[in-house]
Chain A
Amino acid sequence: MLLYGLDFLVFVGIFGIVALSLNLEFGFAGIANFGKVAFFLIGAYTYALLSKIGIPFPLCLIAGALTSALFGLLISLPALRLRTDYLAIAILAFGEILRLIVKSESWIAGGDWGTSVAPAISIAGASHHVGVLVNIGLVYFCLLICFVIAQLLANSPYGRVVRAIREDEIAAEALGKDRAKYKAQILMIGSAMVGVAGGLYVQYLHYVLPDMFVPMITFTVWIMVLLGGPGNNWGALLGAGLVELFKYGTNLAKPILPLDPINLQYILFGVLIILVLFYRPQGLLKESPIKTKALELVRYGKGVVNNKAGK
């Protein structure tokens, strides 16, 4: 039972990173990335292949981030030309193509059967519990870095521009903002984050195989972000926690459930997403306002430029 709880924490951490990265793309920049899992896959396979040839794990993670970011950049090029909905379908297809490639090309990493991946940190003679605890440390360290980056971006003039592009890209463009550049940067950062998560994921599970990267993963992460509240980094984490809790809950309840928990999850996820979109389109937490030191100063006293400015 304790192990189950620890395992849960690892997954919340890993998917917390993925949710943060989708929130950056969708919540702040308005990019409907329906191919999230593709970048997760790229990070995972990069990690698996490099660690096989003996590269130390931090480098494997970084390489996963960079490779994924590179693909993020590549996908952003048509993204500038395509309408949002077409782009969504294009990225979705991109993810499926990647999955089918690693599935059918068995020389890459064992094809359909996948391949084993060594854990990032293995301590000789340590119990399984210790192994999971070490993973919690590693995962939450990475999560912290991603969270800090996401918060810095959200609360900066850069984040303000990105949100403006989400609100009205024509107006932002007419106010001097190169939307193509900003979107490319956001897709690169978002992809880098999910790339790290992919590496963490496979080293924790000790194996990688194509069917870990089905489109359902993308939709699960979308539910996390929509439920938690797009445009709010805490919301993304909350969403990740709740969705994972729900998954673990249904798995635990397996013996008393009338149908397979996986199928049940799919059905309930569908219902959940409809309920959220209908009754709380802004998610559980509402979008966080932009906070910079200068704005705070004006808003809350000290150095008030004009007292009428406060509401």
Chain B
Amino acid sequence: MEEALLRISEVSKHFGGVYAVNAVDMEVKEGGIWGLVGPNGSGKTTLFNTILGLYKPDHGTVYFNGKCISNLAPHDIYAEGLVNAFQLPRLFYQMTVLDNMLVAARGHQGDRLVNSLFLRKGWQEQEKGLIDEAIEILEFVELGKWAFSPAGELSGGQRKLLEVARGLMAKPRLLLLDEPAAGINPALGKTIFQKLKDFSGNGTTFFIVEHRLEILFEFAKWVYVMYRGRVVTQGEPHDVADAPAFYQAYLGGG
């Protein structure tokens, strides 16, 4: 059996008496766009934070690429190739848009103390390449002309886009996106998904939480539906759309 890229096994996370995530099993295989939907408060963000190591699961295990990552620090999880774009953007607001992107870059030699003091030539060339990549990604989310503005000057929708762009800059094997199209005009939202699909051809798999079901269902190859902390159904988008559990989740939960 082919080992899934991400395997979540029996994961639970509760806050006090609230079971935000309750015995969840999931698999995300390499390639394409994978979806996670569910009404507000169903535990999607909590699940993502648990995968990322920001929360320790109360129960269960997360495997990435066959390796248990439940006990790794978030920065080690990034090193494994698992990155996330937050639902509420967490940008470095006093830094420029471009600097936000460069922080995310993988394997920048200049990030190391000794190199910043003594071996500056070594990474200057590398940084040029990284800037080219960053600008290219910024262009694609229509933030190119903001490259040298502080991130704090961006509008709500643009912050969201930068959050996504920063995730792409990290060149992850798996990128978790928590509502990438929220607060962005619908046309751009759709374009973004189209681009993400193109990106997924270059070795990045996407696992996306999205409330705009019509966009997500058009691009996703597999969708999980959560309700009150549990996975209630899963399948290909058109099957999920017909599943009774899916309707119950949305009508029952609201």
Contact = CB atoms under 8 A, between A and B. Distances in A.
Interface stretch (A52-60, A106-114, A285-293): A285-293
Interface stretch (A64-72, A165-173, A199-207, A235-243): A165-173
Nearest to A286: B94
A271 interface: no
Contact of B94 (A170, A287, A294, A311): A287
A163 B92 contact: yes
A168 B92 contact: yes
B113 A311 contact: no
Given A157-B123, A158-B112, A309-B148, 18 more contacts: A152-B120, A156-B110, A157-B102, A158-B111, A167-B91, A172-B92, A173-B75, A174-B54, A174-B74, A174-B83, A175-B83, A175-B103, A292-B124, A294-B124, A294-B131, A308-B145, A309-B144, A311-B148
Interface in A160-184: 160-161, 163-164, 167-168, 170-179
A269 B83 CA distance: 46
Contacts of B116: 152-153, 156-159
Interface of B is mostly: helix
Given A294-B131, A310-B148, A160 B102 contact: yes
Interface range on chain A (Cβ under 8 Å from partner): 35 or more
Given A185-B113, A305-B131, A311 B149 contact: yes
Nearest to A178: B75
Interface of A is mostly: helix
Contacts of A305: 131-132, 135
Interface string B126-162: 0110111001000100001111110000000000000
Interface residues of B, number: 53
A306 B92 contact: no
Contacts of A174: 52, 54, 74-75, 77-78, 83-84, 90
B216 interface: no
A149 interface: yes
A157 B106 CA distance: 12
Interface string B101-121: 011101011111101110010
Contacts of A153: 116-117
16 contacts: A158-B112, A160-B111, A164-B95, A164-B103, A167-B91, A167-B93, A168-B90, A170-B54, A171-B86, A175-B104, A176-B104, A290-B96, A292-B127, A298-B135, A308-B145, A311-B146
B203 to A, nearest CB: 18
